[in-house]
Structure 1
Amino acid sequence: MIKRFLRICATSLILFATLLLFANVVSAHGKVSLENDSCIRGIEGSMVHLSAYQPQYDPEAEYCTEIPHEGKTFWVIDLVDQALRDMPIAVRIVKGTGEKLSETVANFHSTYHPEGVIKGESNLDGGQYTIFVTGEGVPLVQYQYPLRVQMINYADTFRAAILPMIVLLLLAFITNKYLKSRRMQQS
C-alpha cells in the first residue's frame, strides 16, 4: 500500500512539474515572433510596436495594453517599417475606448521619425484609454491601442489561479484516497 501511495505521489509530482514548465512557456513574452506579439499593430504590411513602462513601480517591467498602476507612464512606439519612418506620424492619447471617447490626454503633433522611435510620457489615471498612432501618408494609416490602467483583468487572474487550484484539488484527492486506504487496512 505504501508503494502505491509513493507511486501516486511521484506521478503527481511529475504532473505538477510539467504543468509549471508549461505555464512558464505560455506566459513568456520576450521570445514571441512579431506576428504573435500582442503589442504589434499592422496595416497593409506596415507595423508599429508599443511598449509602456512605469519605472517608479517596477524598473524592469514592460507593458503593452494592461498598465498596472495610475501615474506617470513612459511609452515607446517603434516604427518597424521604413515606410512609416519616411512619413509624418502623430500620436494622440484619448480617455475612453470605441464610441465612448472623451478628452484628449496627450497630443504629439505630426512629425518625421527617421530613427523609427517615438517616445513620450503621460500621467494616466485609472480607467480606459486609446492611443492613436496616425501615419499621414498616402493612404492615411491609423493604428489603435486600447489601454486599461489599474483595472483588474479577470481572465489573467483566473489563468493565474487555475494551476494552484488544480494542485490543491489533486493533493486533496490523493490525501483522501490515502486516508481511506489506511482506514481499510486498520479495519
Structure 2
Amino acid sequence: MITLEKITGHVFIAIILFTLYSGLATAHGKVDLDADVCVRNISGSMVHLSTYQPQYDPQAEYCTEIPKEGETLWVLDLIDQALRNMPVAVKIMRGSGASLSDTVTSLYSTDHSDGVIKGAFNLDEGQYTLFVTGEGTPPLHYEYPLRIQMTNYKDLFFSYAPYIIIFLLLALMTDKILKRRKLRS
C-alpha cells in the first residue's frame, strides 16, 4: 500500500534531482575548442569569436546571441598560426542566409601577428551575419550568424522545462493524495 510518507519521499527526491540538474547552465566560458560554439573550423584552421557589452554586464561574454542592441565589442582570435600571416577581411551584413542585404560595416586587417583582431559595432535589433575571410590560397571563409536582442524560444523553453515538469509532478501528486484522502473519509 502506498502511504503518504512514501509519496512525500518520492516527491522530495524528485525535487532534489531537478534542483541539481546542470542543464540549466548556459554560460559561455572555459570550454574545449572542439565543443565551443563560437569556434569555426575549416580544414583544421580555426577562429574564435567573442562579443561583449560592458555597458550592460562587464563580466558577460557572448558569441552570436547578443542580448541588447547598441555598442558591442568583438574579438576574433585567429587560433591557426597560418591565419596570422595573411590578410583577413571582416564584414557584417544585415540578414542571414538567402536574405542578406546591405553591408553594415567592414574591416580589413593585415597586421594581426598576435592573432587578435578586434573592433566594435553598433547594431539594431535583428539578424546579421559576420563574415571572416582569410585571403590565403585557398581563401578561408567563416560565417557567424548574429542575433541582436532577439528571444531564442527554443533555449528559453529548455531552460524552464525542468521547473514546469516539477510543477506538473507536484500538482499530480497533490491531486492523487487529495483523492486518496477523500476516498478514506
User: What is the TM-score with the length of structure 1 in the denominator?
Assistant: 0.91
Whether the aligned pair in 2 keeps the contact of 1:41 and 1:143 (CA below 8 Å) is yes
Partner of 2:115: 116
Partner of 1:106: 105
SS where residue 122 of structure 2 aligns? strand
Partner of 2:137: 138
Whether the aligned pair in 1 keeps the contact of 2:71 and 2:120 (CA below 8 Å) is yes
Residue 76 of structure 1: how far off its partner (Å): 0.8
Partner of 2:17: 18
CA distance in 1, matches of 2:24, 2:154: 18
Change (3 A) 1:97 1:116: same
Q: How does 1:82-101 map to 2 (within 5 A)?
A: 82-101=81-100
Partner of 1:156: 155
Whether the aligned pair in 2 keeps the contact of 1:89 and 1:112 (CA below 8 Å) is no
CA distance in 1, matches of 2:89, 2:136: 11
How big is each residue's C-alpha offset from its partner over 1:70-103, in whole Å with a ceiling of 9 and x where there is no partner? 1111111111111111211111111111122212
Whether the aligned pair in 1 keeps the contact of 2:94 and 2:129 (CA below 8 Å) is yes
Partner of 2:74: 75
Change (3 A) 1:25 1:50: same
Residue 46 of structure 1: how far off its partner (Å): 0.7
Partner of 2:51: 52
Residue 185 of structure 1: how far off its partner (Å): 2.0
Residue 138 of structure 1: how far off its partner (Å): 1.0
User: What is the TM-score with the length of structure 2 in the denominator?
Assistant: 0.92
Letter of the aligned partner of 2:55 in structure 1?
Answer: Q
How big is each residue's C-alpha offset from its partner over 1:3-48, in whole Å with a ceiling of 9 and x where there is no partner? 8223222222222322332334763543432111111101011101
Determine what percentage of the aligned residue pairs are the same residue. 55
Change (3 A) 1:25 1:127: closer
Consecutive unaligned residues of structure 1, counting only runs of 5 or more, are none
Residue 62 of structure 1: how far off its partner (Å): 1.2
Change (3 A) 1:30 1:6: farther
Whether the aligned pair in 1 keeps the contact of 2:84 and 2:113 (CA below 8 Å) is yes
Consecutive unaligned residues of structure 2, counting only runs of 5 or more, are none
SS where residue 105 of structure 1 aligns? strand
Partner of 2:41: 42
SS where residue 21 of structure 2 aligns? helix
Partner of 1:180: 179
CA distance in 2, matches of 1:69, 1:49: 21
> Which range moved further: 92-101 or 18-27?
18-27
